Structure 1
Amino acid sequence: MSGLFTEAALLALGVTVLAGLSTILGSLAVLRADRADPRLLAIALAFAGGAMVYVSLVEILGKSAGALVMEHGLRWGHGLATLAFFAGVLAVIGLDRLVPNPHADVAAAAAAEKTELRRVGLLAAAAITAHNLPEGMATFFATLDDPVLGSTLAFAIALHNIPEGISIAVPVFYATGSRWKATMATVVAGLAEPVGAVLGYLVLAPILTPTVIGLLFGAIAGIMVFLSLDELLPAAKRYASGHEATYGMLGGMAVLAVSLVLLR
């Protein structure tokens, strides 16, 4: 078992832990009694969505195709990468069917009764925890293969984990009056990412051939694009009052593009 966790694997796990625990930053919203600024939430969500779409389509899917082309030739390589991409999309759609992922409207939730707030907070925590598992796998395997790529993906995931933390912490705090309980709810959700990384690594480490890596990256790209389009960008539009979602999305793409160039 110890042989599996090489220096590279430990580095990838560390990056995944940092990305996951950024959820805790969302609990800082409960240190003040007023609500989080909806426009800032819109920008943050859209920024993360744009960053994740860009890095998935420009880098991760390219790495998938590259690995598979080397093993199976041009046509089959690109075909397998494409199939893996949409397999990832279908996998996360299936997860959505099993555990719908609510993005609580913080302002509306805070006006509800305490029992409703508690239900909203716990439901959000459970759903976000489940959805953080594949994100943890994505960050881990991306970092394991390429620390620069993994770090940029972790940055994008960390950004969108912050407003997710807010959607958990604020209703829990207003329901219970306990900042500690609100913070611990975000800790549990954040730890799902390294847990998902470790479980995925233990299952896949013995069979990490170039073909498996290529298929895995294709699926990761599909998962990240779907999460961005289905969750982050629509949520950003709900919080926005103008063009914040569009500006945030383009800003996220621009920052990731520049970072990928500078970190080569």
Structure 2
Amino acid sequence: MVSDDPNVGLAIGLTTAAGLATVIGGGLACLCDPDNHSLLAGCLAMAAGVMVYVSFIEIFPEATNLFHESGTFNSDHAFMMTTLVYFVGNGLCLVADVLTQVWMSRKKSKASENREVTPTGEDDDP
């Protein structure tokens, strides 16, 4: 039964803390100056960093164990393979980011070229 587990209090406490953090973060986002984009960008960057860190800490050892349990790699080679796949994935994300930036800049320049120049009316006067 769930109530017999000694970690029930910890689970409820962590869930409550996560809920309060969400409420506090939402309140701060509503109370801050809407023209101050650096505060919101900093908070989003910190949240993304925390999510990446937690995912990395949980997934990396599990991936190493799965490589090792497959029987193809010993523990050292499993760690090296996990590290290699991690950096290849980061490289693919970097390539996708660069390609997206190039694509968007080309799209933006084409849109500015296609925009018609509106006459100001200054040259029409005799």
TM-score norm. by structure 1 comes to 0.22
- Return the structure number with greater helix share: 1
- Structure with the larger RCO, 1 or 2 (CA within 8 Å, 6+ apart): 1
Report the structure number with the largest CA radius of gyration.
2
